[in-house]
Amino acid sequence: MGQINLPQDNALMRAELPREGEFRNPSGCAISGMISTSGKRFSGEDIIRSISVMHDRSNGLGGGFAAYGIYPEYKDFYALHIFFDDSAAKHECEAFLERHFDIINLSKIPTRKSPAITDEPLIWRYFVTPLPTKLASSQLDEREFVARCVFRVNTRIKGCYVFSSGKNMGVFKAVGFPEDVGRFYRLEEYEGYAFTAHGRYPTNTPGWWGGAHPFALLDYSVVHNGEISSYDANRRSIEMHGYKCTLQTDTEVIAYIIDYLNRRKGLSMKEICSVIAAPFWQTIAQMPPEERAEAEYLRNAFSSYLITGPFSIIVGFEGGLMALNDRLKLRSMVVAERDDMVYISSEEAAIRVISPELDRLWYPEGGQGVIITVNGGDEKCR
Amino acid sequence: MPINFLCPEYEVVRDYDRCIACRVCERQCANNVHSLIKESGKMFADSSKCVVCHRCVSLCPTRALKIVKSDHSFRQNANWSAKAITEIYKQADSGGVLLSSMGNPEAYPNYFDRLLINASQVTNPSIDPLREPMETSVFLGKKPTELVRDENGRLQNNLAPQLHLNVPVMFSAMSYGSISYNAHESLARAAEALGIYYNTGEGGLHEDFYKYGRNTIVQVASGRFGVHKAFLESGAAIEIKMGQGAKPGIGGHLPGAKIVGDVSRTRMIPEGGDAISPAPHHDIYSIEDLRQLVYSLKEATEYKKPVIVKIAAVHNVSAIASGIARSGADIIAIDGFRGGTGAAPTRIRDNVGIPIELALASVDKRLRDEGIRDEVSLVCAGSIRSSADVVKAVALGADAVYIGTAALLALGCHLCRNCQSGKCNWGIATQDSQLTKRLNPDIGCKRLINLVSAWDHEIKEMMGGMGINSIEALRGNRLMLRGIGMTEKELEILGVRHAGE
Amino acid sequence: MKRVYVNENWCLACHLCEYYCAFANSGGHDMATALKGVKLHPRISVEEKDLVSFAVSCRHCQEPLCVKSCITGALTKTDGLISIDRDKCVGCQTCVLVCPYGAISPAEDGVMQKCELCTKNGCEPRCVQGCPNAAIVYEER
């Protein structure tokens, strides 16, 4: 009886409570990330184990992962991961995709039933490439074209949500504890060179899966712990440049800012750190002249993208990770190295559980970004 | 004619038990309210001459004086107020336009007073400005649209000229002529000490004050008084005054009585003649003409100084501001309908223009909707009365604010609103040397510094409470505001939610 | 030594310094009570001609003629401050005659009085505190 009634109760709950995006939902969180600097691919097992150590930092209302290097056989195609509320939404979305993309492959994303994860939407994956004629007539750069299509689906087609859109990477997220989400998506069966994970502690129920983290656009993904006080200033500024903040979450706005500054403005990740967690003016005043001029310039030119309030973030991008704290370091974050592996986490325990022996472990200062790239690759101006 | 006798609205009340007949009230009143009656040795006050400037009250050493609202009244009439009736008597007598000074005093809604500020609880820590850096300095000017790198990939400084303010507060335009030399000196010295700017207004810049040029905004208005090459080059920025909140749509008029000595020389006009600034700039009849003046001034100063365009907040202010943003201006200053003035026709001051809060919110939104908010900085003016108003203005979208009335209050102004008489007892809005000497710039400058420093402290406290440690993260951050007692439409225009939402 | 200085640029001829001086030396607690109906004998006075005015009080001269000329030794100079011993003064008014500033005058009871920088009143000079425009200052120069 109880099992029969359960979906109805949940459906009722959905009807009464607003969905993520319709309200501001402050969250506390756990984050974790790991990357092989030699580009060696490893299983998602470790990231699940790491984030599960921080079980108490989330409350079962959201968990998720970003995995890089997991689709080598489709590395030249955009992997779209999409939630559909129902099959009507799926049909409408697929029609849109067919008009704009060449769909190379599509499938349901494999999942494993679990009592801890309920209410799942339809979850599909499409490997696509823009139709050359459409791309040419849009007069857009390929990545911009894809980004705009993602916004189009997410804002115009009801019941569809593209939550991952990069090449050779994927986001996997759900409402639940992160370790359960990892098992649900069978993450241990994927191999990648970098993973990030997020366990969420929202103050309100998110209402649907789209609100879980990581938040991603193209191959940029962000996991974030904190609540930024600059949110509306950042949102209103980034929305000037064609972004639509539909979720009202900090993570979303941070992801757009990073996409804007890196992909569209050509700032390096290091430069981005000195925009979003800009050094204090008193610190800038003490810098050597050249460095000072650059820091002043970035702070002034991009003043709308300064992020204040507590945050620790791990940004995933093609070929690397970037970890950053707010300038007062109001959230915990630790970084460690062992052989070719670099680990980032809210708590040291979540690193030690994977690698009890470490070559080096440190707590980056507020505003001091840590940028790790595969084989020392260039993360600039992509 | 007896009809013209108006029973004074305010009465001077003297406590004869405390009055020692020291006659300081008599000596300090430029309106000759007080006199000593020789026979009785007692002081007498003629309330009908009193402008309620409180000079006598403030200086009375025995606290024997106060000014009270008279209980004399017309027969009660909810439609014909005493003000409406007496103004008719005045006009029936004079046949003239009624003149007033300072900002619109009427009981229109004040939106700053209907906005409440947020603070952090639990999910996000507040920040203590006594323990952590708290930044209130801002740059005003265009932000670059394209980045330029040298051959080594290093970013090149391609910023347009900027103004740097230690506090997001500047002293708004008040001309030498409308206010005294000592008032100007106080403003200039305070601006320099505070690391902010003061504004010459349309009256040129006295040669003694060129040394404060780095903290001076020089104004070019429709009369072009006092504008010459050295003047333009002396300032840190040039402001084109298209309009003023207190009197949108009309020009200025400084009576010949104030065009004396240095005022005449600084304005470059003959002594004793009225200085009349036309209602429009006669070389700007449209937006494309404005663009020409903006670039003419930039050309004249080798593109080294930002150009500010100041407009009054009128009904279609957002479309106008959007046009200005596309006309090469670096900064737009918007002056709301409560902005002050040295003299304006009463009807215009009290009935023309719109509140700065609504104007600012709609301009900021329009510029963002059009994706050109970074093309200009926004400065708002028109009755910024406290640090809370500054915080609310910045959260609505301003980069900085101008204060005029608040600065004059710091200098001693008691808002008697009789600037047009030229007999300012506090030595501010006058050119009478016996009155101007009442404002000692050593004191004036210190008080202005105190005021702005106090506001800066308060701004930092409020920012810290919100968990914001840099003012740029507050700019346009409307989630930090909630409205109270407003209609849906008002909330929509301000872009804020109602308290409790 | 800190002295009282005046700057005529800022003197408004309001005469408040005289009243504050008289009050300070009256020993009273309330100016209205202390000075009401009383003929003032301030130790500072405002000189005015046309549009110029300034307050004059004892300069505490380096070479004080008053001290040299005092026949009873009532006027003395200690640490730069010239003060008067009321018990020794016989009211001969020699000091009044020799003071080039007119800064000494007889009190109501005929004994000479002069500015002693409020040292006997337990406060900073009251004329300085009472000046509304900082035309009178008390400072080291």
Mean of all residue pLDDT scores within chain B? 95
pLDDT of residue A16: 64
Residue of C20, C31, C133 with shortest CB distance to B440: C133
What is residue A364's DSSP assignment? Answer: P
Whether B179 and B269 map to the same domain: the answer is: yes
Check residue A247 and give its pLDDT: 83
| pLDDT on residue A17 | 72
User: Rg of the Cα trace of chain C?
Assistant: 15
The verdict on B350 and B259 lying in the same domain is yes
- Answer whether residue A21 shows pLDDT above 80: no
C110: CATH: 3.30.70.20
What is the band of A367 on the pLDDT scale with cuts at 50, 70, 90? very high
Residue B157 lies in a domain: no
- What's the structural domain count of chain B? 2
Cβ-proximal residues to A235 (8 Å cutoff; 6+ apart), any chain: A245, A253
- Give the structural domain span for A329: 26-266+312-373
Average pLDDT over residues B324-338: 97
pLDDT digits (tens, 9 = 90+) for B176-223: 999 999 999 999 999 999 999 999 999 899 999 999 999 999 999 999
| Chain B residues within 8 A of C134 when measuring between CB atoms | 440, 442-443
Give kind and range of the element (H or E) at residue B400. strand B400-403
Spatial CB neighbours of C107, under 8 Å, sequence gap ≥ 6: C41, C113
B chain contacts of residue A253, beta-carbon cutoff 8 Å: none
A230, A328 in Cβ contact below 8 A? no
Question: Is B175 found in the same domain as B55?
Answer: no
Q: Is A281 left (phi over 0), alpha (psi -120 to 50) or beta?
A: alpha
CB contact under 8 A, A300 and B135: no
In the predicted model, is pLDDT for residue A8 greater than 70? no
* Whole-number Å distance between alpha carbons of A299 and A281: 9
C-alpha radius of gyration, chain A, whole number: 20
C48 plus C97 within the same structural domain: no
Identify which of A265, A306, A330 has the shortest CB distance to residue B472. A306
Q: In a 10 Å sphere around its CB, with 0-12 CB exposed, 13-18 middle and 19+ buried, how is residue B299 labelled?
A: exposed
Q: What is the DSSP letter of A94?
A: H
How many Å apart are CA A40 and CA A297, to the nearest integer? 38
Looking at chain A, which subunits does it touch, using at least 3 CB pairs closer than 8 Å as the criterion?
B
Mutation site for B-interface testing, chosen from A229, A244, A275 by largest number of B Cβ within 10 Å: A229
The residue among A168, A212, A11 whose CA lies nearest residue A74 is A168
Please give the average per-residue pLDDT across A32-44, as a whole number. 96
Q: What pLDDT, in 10s, does the model give residues C20-46?
A: 999 999 999 999 999 999 999 999 999
- Answer yes or no: do B270 and B419 share one domain: yes
Is there a contact between A300 and B120 if contact means CB atoms under 8 Å apart?
no
Mean pLDDT in residue range A31-40: 96
**pLDDT higher at C99 or A16:** C99
Lowest mean pLDDT segment, chosen from A207-221, A228-242, A356-370, B335-349: A207-221
| pLDDT in the model for residue B12 | 97
**Helix axes of B387-396 and B356-369: crossing angle, nearest 10 degrees:** 30
Residue numbers in A near B467 (CB within 8 A): 227, 229, 308-310
How many Cβ atoms from other residues are within 10 Å of residue A15's Cβ? 7
pLDDT 10s digits, C68-82: 999 999 999 999 999
- B442 and chain C: CB distance < 8 Å anywhere? yes
Q: How confident is the model at residue B419 (pLDDT cuts 50, 70, 90)?
A: very high
B404–chain C nearest CA distance, Å:
22
Same domain, B351 and B430: yes
- Whether B220 maps to a domain, the answer reads yes
> Residue A334: its pLDDT value, please?
96
Rounded distance, CA B68 to CA B78, Å?
23
Shared-domain flag, residues B52 and B174: no
User: Does residue B39 sit within a domain?
Assistant: yes
Taking the Cβ of residue C19 and every Cβ of chain B, the question of whether any pair is shorter than 8 Å is answered with yes
Q: What is the pLDDT of residue A379?
A: 55
Cβ of residue B119 closer than 8 Å to a chain A Cβ: no
**Least CB-CB distance to B17: which of C11, C32, C51?**
C32
B174 lies in the same domain as B62: no
Mutate to test the interface with B, among C36, C44, C45 (most CBs of B within 10 A): C36
Q: What CATH number is associated with residue A225?
A: 3.60.20.10
In a domain, B412, yes or no: yes
B248 preceded by a cis bond (ω within 30 of 0)? no
Q: What percent of chain A has pLDDT over 70?
A: 94
Paired tokens of B459? 């701004």
Residues B8, B33: Cα–Cα separation, whole Å: 12
Nearest CA in chain B to A28: B123
Q: Which of residues 64-83 of C touch B (CB under 8 A)?
A: none
Does B61 contact C31 at a Cβ distance shorter than 8 Å?
A: yes
Same domain? For B174 and B294 the reply is yes
Q: Could you tell me if B492 lies within 8 Å of chain A, comparing CB atoms?
A: no
Q: Are residues B191 and B86 in the same domain?
A: no
Q: How far is B185 from chain C (nearest CA, A)?
A: 14
Which residues 167-196 of B are in CB contact (within 8 Å) with C?
Answer: none
Q: Which of B338, B336, B344 is nearest to B247 (CA)?
A: B344
Is B88 in the same domain as B189? no
Average pLDDT value for residue range C56-65: 95
Structure tokens at A250: 């900090």
Is the domain of C45 the same as that of C65?
no
DSSP string, A301-315: HTGGG---SSEEEEE
Instruction: Give the pLDDT confidence score for residue A5 in this predicted structure.
Output: 43
B438 has pLDDT over 80: yes
Residue B347 in this model has a pLDDT that exceeds 90: yes
Separation of alpha carbons C83 and C74, rounded Å:
8
φ, ψ of residue B453 in degrees (nearest 5) = -65, -40
Note whether B311 and B184 are same-domain residues: yes
Q: What is the pLDDT of residue B435?
A: 96
Domain span including residue C47: 1-57+121-141
pLDDT for A205: 74
Instruction: Tell me the pLDDT band of A378, cut-offs 50, 70 and 90.
Output: low
455-484 in B: which are within 8 Å (CB) of A?
466-470, 472-480
Joined together, the tokens standing for residue A129 give 């490439």
Tell me the average pLDDT across B288-314. Answer: 97
User: Cβ A229–B154 below 8 Å, yes or no?
Assistant: no
Cα–Cα distances in Å, from C111 out to A378, B403, C85, C89, C93?
A: 95, 56, 10, 6, 9
Decide if A380 is inside a domain: no
C109 and C140 together in one domain? no
Do C30 and C68 lie in one domain? The reply is no
Q: Tell me the per-residue pLDDT of B260-277, one tens digit each, with 9 for 90 and over.
A: 889 999 999 999 888 889
Band the pLDDT of B498: cuts 50, 70, 90: very high
How confident is the model over C112-125, as a mean pLDDT? Answer: 94
Tens of pLDDT, residues A243-284: 988 888 889 999 999 999 999 999 999 999 999 999 999 999
The answer on pLDDT for A4 being more than 70 is no
Positions of A marked active-site: 29
Provide the residue range defining the domain that includes B439: 166-469
Take residue C27 and report the two structure tokens written for it: 């020993």
CB B398 within 8 A of CB B378: yes
Percent of chain B with pLDDT over 70: 100
Q: Taking all residues of chain A, what is their mean pLDDT, rounded to a whole number?
A: 91
Q: How far is CA B160 from CA A240, B142, B179, B298, B328, in A?
A: 21, 6, 33, 11, 11
Q: Are strands B198-199 and B169-171 parallel, antiparallel or unpaired?
A: unpaired
B287 pLDDT more than 50 = yes
Pairing of strands B169-171, B400-403: parallel
Residue of chain B with shortest Cα separation from A306: B473
pLDDT computed for residue A382 by the predictor: 38
Interface test with C, best of B34, B42, B62 (most C CBs within 10 A): B62
Which is higher by pLDDT, B438 or A22?
A: B438
Q: Do residue C23 and residue B64 have CB atoms under 8 angstroms apart? A: no
Q: Average pLDDT, stretch A28-56?
A: 94
Is B274 within 8 Å of B256 (Cβ atoms)?
Answer: yes
CA dist list (Å): C9 to C19, C45, C133: 21, 16, 10
Q: ipTM more than 0.95?
A: no
Q: Does C117 touch chain B (CB under 8 A)?
A: no
> Which of A241, A300, A308 lies closest to B473 in CB terms?
A308
How many CA atoms, within 13 angstroms, populate the side-chain half-sphere of residue C138?
16
Mean of pLDDT values over B410-426:
95
Query: Which CATH number goes with the domain that contains B452?
Result: 3.20.20.70
Q: Return all residues near A256 (Cβ < 8 A) that are at least 6 apart.
A: A217, A238, A243, A245
Q: Do B479 and A280 touch (CB under 8 A)?
A: no
Q: Does B434 touch chain C (CB under 8 A)?
A: yes
- Please indicate whether, in this complex, the C-beta atoms of B147 and A239 are within 8 angstroms of each other: no
Closest alpha carbon within chain B to C21: B61
Question: Is C138 touching B (CB cutoff 8 A)?
Answer: no
- Domains in chain C: how many in total? 2
Residue B68 CB burial class (10 angstroms; 0-12, 13-18, ≥19): exposed
Number of domains in chain A: 1
Provide the mean pLDDT of chain C.
Answer: 94
Phi first, then psi: what are they for A35, rounded to 5°? -145, 140
B14 — phi, psi (to 5°)?
A: -115, 135
Chains A and C touch (3+ CB pairs under 8 A): no
Mean pLDDT, residues B133-158: 94
- Compare all CA atoms of chain A with the CA of B370 and give the residue at the minimum distance: A240
Give tens-digit pLDDT for B78-136.
999 999 999 999 999 999 999 999 999 999 999 999 999 999 998 889 999 999 999 99
Of A353, A351, A329, A327, the C-alpha closest to A341 is A351
CB pairs under 8 A between A and B: 109
Taking the CA of residue B260 and the nearest CA in chain C, the distance in Å comes to 18
Structural domain contains residue B463? yes
pLDDT single digits (tens) A63-72: 999 999 999 9
* C43 and C89 together in one domain: no
**pLDDT number for residue A380:** 43
Kindly give, in sequence order, each residue whose CB lies less than 8 Å from that of residue B224, ignoring residues fewer than 6 positions away. none
